[in-house]
Homo-oligomer: A and B are copies of this chain.
Amino acid sequence: MIRYPNGKTYQSKQTNGGMSHQKSIYSNRGMTLEEDLNETNEFYRIHGIAVVHKKPTPVQIVNVDYPKRSAAVIKEAYFKQASTTDYNGVYKGRYLDFEAKETKNKTSFPLQNFHEHQIDHMKQVVKQNGICFVILMFSTLQEIYLFEAKFLFPYWDQITTGGRKSIPKTDVEKQGHFIQFGLHPRIDYIKIIDKLYF
């Protein structure tokens, strides 16, 4: 261990250097949107801000082996399509529900990223007065937006009448809310929700 004259270790200085760490996250994050949201939700839970979890991947279990003296092993199972969005939880008593998607596109967000049953679920949640939105990430641009479900529905519904199959980036910017990447939490969506609903 290398020590400076003031007694601080070389290592602790490096990890304390917020700026350089932040820089490396911003320039080449190497994180997935899911990991960022998991970290964010954990931050919210630890600090008593909100309780939000990602739902487990739904799996249809067909065959399970129960070996003696060890854990059950699932030997055959299939991925099922989820009937809801991926994330839900509670903030100040209100129900939160959202889906997170990313695109490499730079000028629009493709709606094929969503499934009919997810949109149906979001419509049910909005009717029940839940707070429902999507987190849209333009991964090439490294930009993230919170986009309320009520603004998503018209774009989705126009597809059936022959309309375009994506949301123009300019519309995402106008109707959505830009979320600045942070260190802790990484994607502070509650800040936006707080402004919009409380």
Cβ-defined contact, A95 with B89, below 8 A:
yes
Interface stretch of the complex, out of A55-63, A100-108, A134-142, A143-151:
A55-63
Cβ-defined contact, B88 with A74, below 8 A:
no
Kindly name the residue among A61, A73, A77 whose own CB sees the greatest number of chain B CB atoms within 10 A: A77
A124–B77 Cα distance when bound, in Å, is: 33
How many residues of chain A are within 8 Å of chain B by beta carbon? 41
Cβ-defined contact, A53 with B83, below 8 A:
yes
A198–B92 Cα distance when bound, in Å, is: 16
Whole-angstrom distance between the Cβ of A107 and the nearest chain B Cβ: 32
Given contact pairs A74-B77, A93-B128, a sample of 8 additional A-B residue pairs in the complex whose CB atoms are under 8 Å apart:
A51-B130, A55-B55, A56-B80, A56-B82, A59-B61, A90-B125, A90-B128, A91-B128
